[in-house]
Amino acid sequence: MRTKLIGLYTSVLILTGCFNETVEEEGLAMITVTNMASFPVYGFEIAYENEYSGTSYADGSLVEKGDSLDFTFTKGDDYHGNITFFVKTDSEEKAHPVKGTFSLEPYEDQIYTFTLIGDKKENAQMYLER
């Protein structure tokens, strides 16, 4: 019985980590990107202040239309200035630039929400939601 309880408890802990929930912590900023494009998307990358950051599903699966992925920055990250987005259209392929460059200020506890649209990677555009 004790072994079953330990196994059940361990399973619950593992499954809890799989939920796409945002942890509210002070000093964080977040960029959320929602895929509304009509072409296959496997992940996003951003370029900022001579650095790159990327996000995708851990298993490399397709980001479905309507799904959102997050970039999270801590207080020490230098993510301000011009942000350029890139989209991955294949799990092996290099990322393609997306039309639209955005200027962001590094405010703590700030959430920036962007939406990717377009019917093919060549005309993909990113919009900042207001």
CATH number, domain with residue 120? 2.60.40.2890
Q: Is 81 a residue whose pLDDT tops 70?
A: yes
The more confident residue out of 67 and 8 is 67
With respect to residue 41, please indicate whether it lies within any of the assigned structural domains.
Answer: yes
Residues in CB range of 124: below 8 A, 6 or more apart = 37, 39, 87, 96, 98, 99, 116, 117, 118
With respect to residue 119, please indicate whether it lies within any of the assigned structural domains.
Answer: yes
With respect to residue 121, please indicate whether it lies within any of the assigned structural domains.
Answer: yes
* pTM of the complete model: 0.74
With respect to residue 81, please indicate whether it lies within any of the assigned structural domains.
Answer: yes
Structural domain for 53, as ranges: 24-128
Pairing of strands 29-35, 43-48: unpaired
What are 56's two structure tokens? 């995708």
With respect to residue 16, please indicate whether it lies within any of the assigned structural domains.
Answer: no
With respect to residue 10, please indicate whether it lies within any of the assigned structural domains.
Answer: no
* pLDDT value of position 100: 83
State mean pLDDT over 105-110. Answer: 71
How many domains, in total, are found in the chain? 1
With respect to residue 11, please indicate whether it lies within any of the assigned structural domains.
Answer: no
Query: What confidence tens digit (pLDDT) does each residue in 12-38 have?
Result: 444 444 444 444 555 678 899 999 999
With respect to residue 82, please indicate whether it lies within any of the assigned structural domains.
Answer: yes
* pLDDT value of position 32: 95
Band the pLDDT of 91: cuts 50, 70, 90: confident
Band the pLDDT of 107: cuts 50, 70, 90: low
CA-to-CA distance for 46 and 31, rounded, in angstroms? 10
